Amino acid sequence: MDVGADEFEESLPLLQELVQEADFVGLDIEFTGLRSNVSGPQQISLFDLPSEWYLKTRQSVQQFTVCQIGLSVFSAIEGEANKYIAHSCNFFLFPTTFGILDSEFSFQASSVQFLNQYGFNYNKFLKNGIPYMNEEQEKKIRHDILTGNWRVRSSLDKDQIKAVIDKVTRWLDLAKEGDWMTLPGIAGFQAFEVQLVLRQALPDIWTVLKDEGVVVKKVSKQHRWYLQNTSCDRESCWKENILLSARGFSVFFQMLVKAQKEMNFPRVSNLSEVYEVLNSDLNPTKNSGPEIVHASRCEKYVKTKCPHEAAYDAFLCGSVLLKVAHLLLQKIHGIDPVPESSFPQYLDVLAPYVNQVNLIRAGVPKINFSGPDYPSIRPPILILSIKRWPGVSEQQVYHKFQNLCKFDVRRLTRSQFLLLTNKFKDARNVLKEYRGHPTLCISLYRYWRHSPDVNCVLQVCGIVTAWALLAFIFGRPGP
């Protein structure tokens, strides 16, 4: 099921009910880009600590925007052992443009081509995306609306608002108290935006949102005061409704987080292949594992594979979670089928892996968001000392070794570089290949021996000790 701005409000109650009653959910997010082709300090490297990797990735992703979120809600079928029903849904998102809020974001050409290859609907994303905002933006908009500091920023909105005000003003000149007019074709939070401007600009009107559009009624100032302070549409509640509408998908996402149904299983390089393997004869628990069926409105994925469509990937994530949990449970008990397998049992065997994300290129294999990070199991760091190659750069060193193996390179001193790979075999090969080389000396890096900081401290200590010794010898009084 595909959901855009037009369908979101209508489907929200059903989605909230599904999430609250779910055992767990699968989630997938598509961006307008993944990672910019940065170089230098911002480039992700095997030398990175988990905190460094996270900050670099976060800064890179912030250049882009979420264009689609896929949600697959898994619920156990009552009365049927180890059987689940999955409701899958694609949400097309577009950043909120409201008041002073006018986000900027980038597209990465390769990501656009990649999503286009798999049939991504860019028209739905751009024309009918569900608005959303982050917590910082929400605080700013809330403050502006509730304090009356709100204003229109974009030139398009200004032109539309100006046209609406002109139209209503011309009508007011001829209208009598109690007359009304309708502004058709205005819906969603833009309808709230129009009403807010009209109420601020014109003291003798009142507005109401109806199915056919925004209805404007001419009223006396006394009646206007009464409506503002006593009706169910009084200004304080009405402004909260504006904010609620502008927040859009953020409302649902915050509810999803509070429901505590997410189980983030580390993604691998190819999710589809993992799913296929777990459903093949290679999986010893294939015939005894959990059974998953699609809900009646979500049967698109029964026979059709839609890789990199967010809801389909979310369904794969949830399915992999169940099947891997069952595989772990069978391994612990040593028997198959495991008697009376249940979702609480799956949660128990998955507990050691909660909030851990696999890192492809970093100093450790995974990052732990809820505890200490695991020690590195990468190959040792190598140090390259160069003779007779003045002005050599990190890029030149990288190209020098790329035919033998791929290293991440980091300069240590003018003539020394650190080399790091994620394969022990590559480290052994390069040590063997360059043993006794006349200009390129490669050895294991030892911090206390090779670190410039340590060498500097030792040199200073040596100088201080030498001066102290000289002062002691020559400063002694004669006999």
Distance (Å, whole) CA 165 – CA 157: 12
**Four-point Cα dihedral 245, 249, 255, 256, nearest 10:** 170
Question: Can you tell me which residue has the tokens 């299983």?
Answer: 265
Query: 365-393 pLDDT, tens per residue?
Result: 788 888 887 777 778 888 888 888 888 88
- Comparing 253 with 478, the larger pLDDT belongs to 253
* pLDDT at residue 99, rounded to an integer: 66
Task: Summarize pLDDT for 70-123 with one digit per residue, the tens.
Answer: 888 888 888 787 788 888 888 888 887 776 677 888 888 888 888 888 888 888
What is the pLDDT, as a whole number, of residue 191? 75
Averaged pLDDT, 200-217 = 84
Where in 152-204 does DSSP place strands (E)?
180-183
What is the pLDDT confidence band of residue 36, given thresholds at 50, 70 and 90?
low
pLDDT in tens, 282-310: 777 777 778 888 888 878 888 888 888 88
pLDDT at 403 over 50: yes
Question: Which CA distances in Å does 38 have to 23, 34, 42, 45, 118?
Answer: 41, 12, 6, 11, 26
Which conformational region is residue 414 in: left (phi greater than 0), alpha (psi within -120 to 50 degrees), or beta?
alpha
Q: Degrees (nearest 5) of the Cα angle 421, 359, 249?
A: 155
Long-range contact pairs involving 408-412 (C-beta distance under 8 Å, separation at least 24) = 408/45, 408/46, 408/47, 408/361, 410/45, 410/47, 412/383, 412/450, 412/452
pLDDT of residue 263: 41
* Fold of the CATH domain 382-454: Alpha-Beta Plaits (3.30.70)
For 228-264, the pLDDT digits (tens) are 776 555 566 666 767 777 777 787 777 777 776 674 4
Please choose, from the candidates 178, 164, 184, 168, the residue with its C-alpha nearest in 3D space to the C-alpha of residue 218: 178
Domain ranges, ordered by start, for the chain: 2-133+253-358, 148-234, 382-454
Mean pLDDT taken over the chain: 79
Lowest-confidence segment of 39-48, 103-112, 209-218, 391-400 by average pLDDT: 39-48
Nearest-5° Cα angle at 32, 152 to 406: 145
Reply yes or no on domain 2-133+253-358 having CATH 3.30.420.10.
yes
390 preceded by cis ω (within 30°)? Answer: no
Instruction: Tell me how far CA of residue 276 lies from CA of 80, 172, 305, in angstroms.
Output: 24, 66, 11
Same fold flag, 148-234 and 382-454: no
Determine the average pLDDT of the residues in 327-336: 74
CATH fold group of domain 148-234: Ribosomal Protein S8; Chain: A, domain 1 (3.30.1370)
Residue 41 sits at φ, ψ, to 5 deg, of -60, -25
- Residue among 45, 49, 38, 140 nearest 98 (CA): 140
Regarding predicted confidence, which is higher, 265 or 400?
400
Percentage helix, strand, coil for the chain under 3-state DSSP, each rounded to 5: 45, 20, 35
Q: Please state the length of the chain.
A: 479
Mean pLDDT of 59-67: 84
User: Which of the four pLDDT bands, split at 50, 70 and 90, describes residue 149?
Assistant: low
State pLDDT tens for residues 306-323.
Answer: 888 888 888 888 888 888
Between CA 259 and CA 75 the distance in angstroms is 14
